[in-house]
Chain A
Amino acid sequence: MSCRKWEIQIVRWHGGELDQEFEEALLRHLETCSRCRITADKFAEIDRFLLESPDHPVPPFLNEKIVSRVIDEMRQDSLKGTFQHFAAVFAYFRPALAGIILVVGIGLGVLMGLNLSHSINTSSSSSGSSYDVLAFSGIEGGERDSSLDFIWTDTSGGGR
């Protein structure tokens, strides 16, 4: 075994992780190899330095700071969760809502179309081109079922 590999055994030995068989082999090697013996001494010194280094006490109120910061995030998450719940409900009903809007749109379109076709039919039977009648039937003809009747109807009887 090379000295480099023995160094790993030295580290294990200092950490108390070396079994008896390897420990005996290492001790035999240390008796014969001055380089590894010096390394073992230096490593032991480093261990001492590291273990003597004092501990860092936790500053006061750090725990409270941590708790309040995480709780803030928890609350934000719960608000986000409520919003997401509504968004999920909306997402669930979205196809139905789109269907309703489509049906209402088609319904309105059909109503307008029926009204227009009705106006054209009644006006064309009386006089002029269908477009003139469509635009001016309420003015000239005085007929009540003009194309604009469904929006506005003059009930006063005067003016037009």
Chain B
Amino acid sequence: MQALGQGDEVALRTLVDRHTPSIYRFSVRFTGDESLAQDVCQEVFLRLYRNARRYVAGMPFRTWLFTIVRNTSIDLARSYTYRKAYSLDDDAQETEKRQLLDPSPGPEERYLSKESTQKVAEAVRSLPEKQRTVVILRYYEEMSAREIAGIMRSTVSSVESLLVRAKHNLVKLLKV
């Protein structure tokens, strides 16, 4: 991080290669928009560079990183809300095109898996912001309640009760 703060390009490339997949994964699930998730990734690394000097050595990097990722996702999602209305049609067309080009599963199989996958993704996206963050970090980033509490500046017990509430909501949304 010190090297990044001093403008070291090698340090930057190392960080980008190492952390972009998890940042992208989180922001796609959080915002539900792939292009917005790409913007989030870029903005996160800009913020990392700008705040590199504030990073205290020895502090858990992942916690710090995901605090930035979460805040950036919230900020950009808010500013993109109105733009989304104009680009919905384009997104749907693009997704369809991509699915047609994808050769792996059969059409019926693809339809079923796509439907259930979309349902789960939509259910997660419709959760309140804090519950969504907890679910994504817990299930897709495999973080402990303590790590999540660090990211959300909260306590372990409140993270656990958020997770319980999120699961109850998912039960209702997915009609389990």
Chain A residues close to B by CB (< 8 Å): 4, 7-8, 11-12, 15, 17, 42-43, 45-47, 49-56, 58-59, 62-63, 65-67, 69-71, 73-74, 77-78
Q: Do residues A62 and B7 form an inter-chain contact, with CB atoms below 8 A?
A: no
Chain B residues with CB below 8 A from A47, complex form: 139
Identity of the chain B residue whose Cβ is nearest the Cβ of A47 in the assembled complex: B139
Of the candidates A42, A62, A78, which one forms a contact with B38 in the assembled complex, judged by CB atoms under 8 Å apart?
Answer: A62
- A8 and B163 alpha carbons, distance in the complex (Å): 8
Q: Do residues B45 and A70 form an inter-chain contact, with CB atoms below 8 A?
A: yes
The smallest C-beta distance from B46 to any residue of chain A, in angstroms, reads 6
Q: Do residues A59 and B38 form an inter-chain contact, with CB atoms below 8 A?
A: yes
Of the candidates A4, A46, A54, A71, which one forms a contact with B12 in the assembled complex, judged by CB atoms under 8 Å apart?
Answer: A71
Chain B residues with CB below 8 A from A69, complex form: 42, 45-46
Of the candidates A8, A54, A71, A77, which one forms a contact with B164 in the assembled complex, judged by CB atoms under 8 Å apart?
Answer: A8
Q: Which 6 A-B pairs have the closest CB atoms?
A: A50-B139, A74-B7, A56-B28, A45-B176, A42-B171, A46-B170
B154 within 8 Å of A (CB atoms): no
Q: Do residues A46 and B171 form an inter-chain contact, with CB atoms below 8 A?
A: yes
Q: How many B residues touch the partner, as a band?
A: 35 or more
Q: Do residues A71 and B9 form an inter-chain contact, with CB atoms below 8 A?
A: yes
Besides the contacts A56-B28, A62-B38, what 5 more A-B pairs have beta carbons closer than 8 Å? A47-B139, A56-B25, A62-B20, A63-B13, A69-B46
Q: Do residues B121 and A53 form an inter-chain contact, with CB atoms below 8 A?
A: yes
Q: Do residues B41 and A8 form an inter-chain contact, with CB atoms below 8 A?
A: no
Of the candidates A8, A17, A56, A71, which one forms a contact with B24 in the assembled complex, judged by CB atoms under 8 Å apart?
Answer: A56
Chain B residues with CB below 8 A from A7, complex form: 164
- A49 and B116 alpha carbons, distance in the complex (Å): 9
Identity of the chain A residue whose Cβ is nearest the Cβ of B121 in the assembled complex: A53
Chain A residues with CB below 8 A from B56, complex form: none
